[in-house]
Amino acid sequence: MAIRIDRWLWAARFFKTRGLATEKVIGGHVQINSESTKPSKQVKCGDRLTILRENETFTVTVTGLAEKRGSAAIAQTLYKESDESLKAREAGRERRRLDAASAPTKRPDKKARRQIIRFVRKGD
């Protein structure tokens, strides 16, 4: 048995709507067995998918098929994510958290701007 990739992505809750899943497949954000694909491509158990979603990359193996979208608990039984994918996503999440923490909370005022300019000119 096989099912369309866009429908499977929607049922497995990788994308909120089937239309969005179709857009991402057309845009090249989803690969089946390391090959670009079309939304009508059939996916079957054992296929390896690479899914790019926002800032995260999922590498999963299809373990089940579903025609309808069910609960999140059911959706998680449709695939198995690789350990490398989990580690890479966790590292990326931590990196983004640290980047957000180091960003200034407000724009520099007049005094701070002058200090920045002096510091930059001193380095020249």
E strand or H helix at 5, and its extent? helix 5-11
Determine the Cα–Cα distance for residues 21 and 16; give it in Å rounded to an integer: 8
Two tokens at 53? 């979603």
Two tokens at 21? 């899943």
Please report the pLDDT score of residue 124 as a whole number: 64
Q: Which one is predicted more confidently, 101 or 58?
A: 58
CATH code for residues 3-93? 3.10.290.10
Domain range annotation of the chain = 3-93
Q: Which residues pair with 36 in a beta bridge?
A: 31
The two beta strands, 30-32 and 35-36, are antiparallel
- Give the pTM: 0.78
Q: What is the pLDDT of residues 10-62, one digit of tens each?
A: 999 999 999 999 999 999 999 999 999 999 999 999 999 999 998 899 999 99
Three-state DSSP class for 101? helix
Please report the pLDDT score of residue 99 as a whole number: 82
Q: Tokens 């609960």 map to which residue?
A: 71
Looking at the predicted structure, is the pLDDT value of residue 102 above 80?
Answer: no
Q: Which one is predicted more confidently, 55 or 102?
A: 55
Looking at the predicted structure, is the pLDDT value of residue 105 above 90?
Answer: no
Determine the Cα–Cα distance for residues 113 and 60; give it in Å rounded to an integer: 48
Q: Which residues pair with 50 in a beta bridge?
A: 31, 59
Determine the Cα–Cα distance for residues 92 and 58; give it in Å rounded to an integer: 12
Percent of the chain's residues with pLDDT above 90:
83
